[in-house]
Structure 1
Amino acid sequence: MVEIQKKFIGFSSAALFQILRDGQPRTKAELVDITGLSRSTIQLRIETLLELGLLAPVNDAVSTGGRPSAQVALNPTARVVAAVDFGATQASVAITDLTGVILARTSSKIIIADGPETCLGWMVRTIRSELAALHLKEADLISIGIGLPGPVEHSTGRPSNPPIMPGWDDFDVPGFVNHHLKATVLVDNDVNIMALGEQKFAWPDTENMVFLKASTGIGSGIISSGILQRGAEGIAGDIGHVQIARGHSVPCRCGNSGCLEAMAAGPALAQQLTLAGVNFKGKPIATLSDVVAATKAGELAAIQAVRQAGRDIGEVLTTCVSVLNPSVIAIGGSLALAGEHLLAGVREVVYSRSMPLATEHLTIAQSRAGLDAGIIGASVMAIEYALSIESVDAMAAALES
């Protein structure tokens, strides 16, 4: 008990709240046992959290005689967060409660190359519209999580030389948004938030996983020892620009040649099929959507192209398996909608080229969160901030002042 008491010296309301974030109702007596703090101190901390609305009473505790013991638990509706997922040609905005339940959602065709003011302006208007539809005030919005389809310096929220986002380089995304909405803004690469979303949705007990997005581009999000890995400059997992043997002379939009993305991303496959003269329903296969539709319809040339893309992706993932030793590789993005043909190519190479010990318990599966992975992950990122010790401490300080 002495060791427990030392651990919780100076234990604030925000620190106590971290114990209750899981939503499990607990009595004051249970919290006293967990922390070693006095009942009066626990009572004061709980009163602060109740006043903030972050906790709510739960009156169904099992009684051991006399009155039932009052319990408290996380109040999911105390605040809301906004989750935003920008892709190259579309975007989604959702309002969620503090457990990630989606309360409102809007998706629209938004071209990221139109620039930050246009895209973020649409986002701000959409968030305001959704809050109004839910009869919520802007003050109820505590944080906004945004995923962008390019490298991002997470600490500042500024994109860093994003190849498909003209006008976004070093743009102050949080600063722009805060001119309109007074909530904390967190920004990350879209594949990173998809990794968070996939883990939350489908693999909550998995601490080592790789999420691969195969779409207009190719990238991955890495979770190691339960922590999202961003790297020194925020580009950890940028496997789309790793050179593969088959593409040594093929130019990539990054300026190099032989990149995985130049051979296996959606536009590359569409171009390969177009040059080969392959038609689907009487028309050339010209887009990623065409590739997916043709593959699902059983068009042999499209199936072969997608299967080869899987092999190319597997070539790079084999190195990832050796370096990171994940227990799950989840494949998402629009190209993954082509189904098992992409996965079959990935598995064929990864399982044949990796060390047996590394693949003995390795699962390679299609994303279970699907196209919702980005929205779920953006919500996770925003909630993690909203319920952090720093955030709750700030709310408590504002309450006291």
Structure 2
Amino acid sequence: MTRSLDLGSPAFSTAGGLLQLLRDGHPRTRAELAALTGLSRPTVAQRIDQLLELGLIAPVEAAVSTGGRPSSQIAFNPRARVVLAADLGALHARIALTDLDGRLLAEFSESRDIAEGPDAAIAWILGAGRRLLQQTGVTAAQVAGIGVGVPGPVEFSSGRPINPPIMPGWDRYDIPGALGAEIDAPVFVDNDVNIMALGEQTSSWPGISDLIFIKVASGIGAGVISGGRLQRGAHGAAGDIGHVALARAADTPCPCGNRGCLEAVASGRALAHALSTADAALTRPSEVVALAKTGDVTAIQAIRQAGRDLGEVLTVCVSLMNPSTIVIGGTMAQAAEHLVAGVREVVYARSIPLSTEHLTIAPSRARGDAAILGAAQLAIDAALSPARITAALGG
């Protein structure tokens, strides 16, 4: 995620603060770091020695000098550690090993039902994670953190799912405790749409600090990045736009128990139900996409209308948050030409010009990688935070 660095902050007097500056990948000399942070050269040298000891930075050879001794540049070392990233979906599971820049080193995925429960899922993460470590020749001691995304609400401070509707047996399950008992690394858990927003932003829109990521699959949800920060809300429920009331759907029941929710008419599950016939029952969003790709006019019109319905809700979001970018992802984004067209049609027509003059509405660029990249970034940012670096140095 784009990091807004206040170089005058006291945090930059620590080794962890200095590391945040170097994480942009640009090599710098000790003199440059002293000038940027306002710290004395002896202090900068001490902080650099601490980070060198941890292996998180490394000298860069052949630096250009302006005279005298060759200039010694220092750069972030993304291969110093690795992170494990897991994306648990309703019917799939994916795990990856990445370096500290979020580059994929190895991965594995398979079909899995989240309803099998937490114990089976944790066993799968641990087993698959150990195989990836063995495959890449990395030890568990080199794991800096573990990031996990799940398809339900999460209390971020504890990493526990809270009353997740499609995750039986997971309510308040201690995911960090279960994983941390086997791998000695901090564990961070968030809902799947939040990590998709994080993965999309860091991998594809790094200069964008105000972005809304919309996942349209079996359900509908949003991940909100404002001012460069992921917004979770007071209880982790920010972005739950799937259950915003929609006038057109007033009499349509929703699985949440209410009527008239956006999700009840515009989700992949709702479209599959609406497009089913006596001869061909559709059960998954992917089947709706496949039907549209055959040129089926009814499916195309249904997806376009779903985009309009989504656009009606997003018009409120645009007025409230004034994002610069709205990204549409999830299974239904595979029919982006129809879905995104419907969203644009309504948002651009109904929002005030000031909000839409420079507004980009686009399909996901990260596509199927958004969640796993986001889970990795979640672990990386937390594991390399100034507080954790200070703790690692015994401060």
Q: TM-score range by the shorter chain?
A: over 0.9
In the TM superposition, what is the alpha-carbon distance from 1:178 to its structure 2 partner? 1.3
The runs of 5 or more residues in structure 1 that have no matched partner are none
Q: Please state if 1:30 is matched with 2:55.
A: no
Alignment of 1:2-401 (within 5 A): 11-275=13-277, 277=278, 283-397=280-394
In the TM superposition, what is the alpha-carbon distance from 1:328 to its structure 2 partner? 0.7
**Structure 1 equivalent of residue 3 of structure 2:** none
In the TM superposition, what is the alpha-carbon distance from 1:34 to its structure 2 partner? 2.2
In the TM superposition, what is the alpha-carbon distance from 1:5 to its structure 2 partner? 11
- Matched-pair identity in %: 56
| Cα distance between partner residues in 2 of 1:114 and 1:234 | 24
| Cα distance between partner residues in 2 of 1:273 and 1:5 | 56
Q: Is the 8 A contact 2:7 2:36 kept in 1?
A: no
In the TM superposition, what is the alpha-carbon distance from 1:32 to its structure 2 partner? 2.2
In the TM superposition, what whole-angstrom CA distance separates every residue of 1:268-320 from its partner, at most 9, and x where no partner exists?
Answer: 11111114x5x6xxx44332221110111111111111111111111111111
Read off the aligned partner of 1:230 and give its amino acid letter. Answer: R
| Cα distance between partner residues in 2 of 1:360 and 1:144 | 40
| Cα distance between partner residues in 2 of 1:110 and 1:84 | 13
| Cα distance between partner residues in 2 of 1:104 and 1:150 | 26
In the TM superposition, what is the alpha-carbon distance from 1:103 to its structure 2 partner? 0.5
Read off the aligned partner of 1:218 and give its amino acid letter. Answer: I
Read off the aligned partner of 1:304 and give its amino acid letter. Answer: Q
Greater mean deviation of Cα atoms: 60-69 or 85-94: 60-69
Read off the aligned partner of 1:377 and give its amino acid letter. Answer: G
Read off the aligned partner of 1:29 and give its amino acid letter. Answer: A
The runs of 5 or more residues in structure 2 that have no matched partner are 1-5
Q: Helix, strand or coil for the counterpart of 1:339?
A: helix
Q: Is the 8 A contact 1:8 1:35 kept in 2?
A: no
Q: Is the 8 A contact 2:12 2:37 kept in 1?
A: no
| Cα distance between partner residues in 1 of 2:89 and 2:336 | 21
Q: Is the 8 A contact 1:59 1:68 kept in 2?
A: no
Name segments (4+ residues, structure 1) moved above 4 Å: 4-10
Q: Is the 8 A contact 1:5 1:37 kept in 2?
A: no
How many residues are treated as equivalent by the alignment?
A: 390
In the TM superposition, what whole-angstrom CA distance separates every residue of 1:122-148 from its partner, at most 9, and x where no partner exists?
Answer: 011111110111111101001011111
Read off the aligned partner of 2:196 and give its amino acid letter. Answer: M
Aligned-pair RMSD on alpha carbons?
1.8
| Cα distance between partner residues in 1 of 2:11 and 2:109 | 47
TM-score normalised by the chain length of structure 2: 0.95
| Cα distance between partner residues in 2 of 1:351 and 1:242 | 20
| Cα distance between partner residues in 1 of 2:236 and 2:165 | 15
Greater mean deviation of Cα atoms: 31-40 or 160-169: 31-40
TM-score normalised by the chain length of structure 1: 0.94
| Cα distance between partner residues in 2 of 1:341 and 1:262 | 19
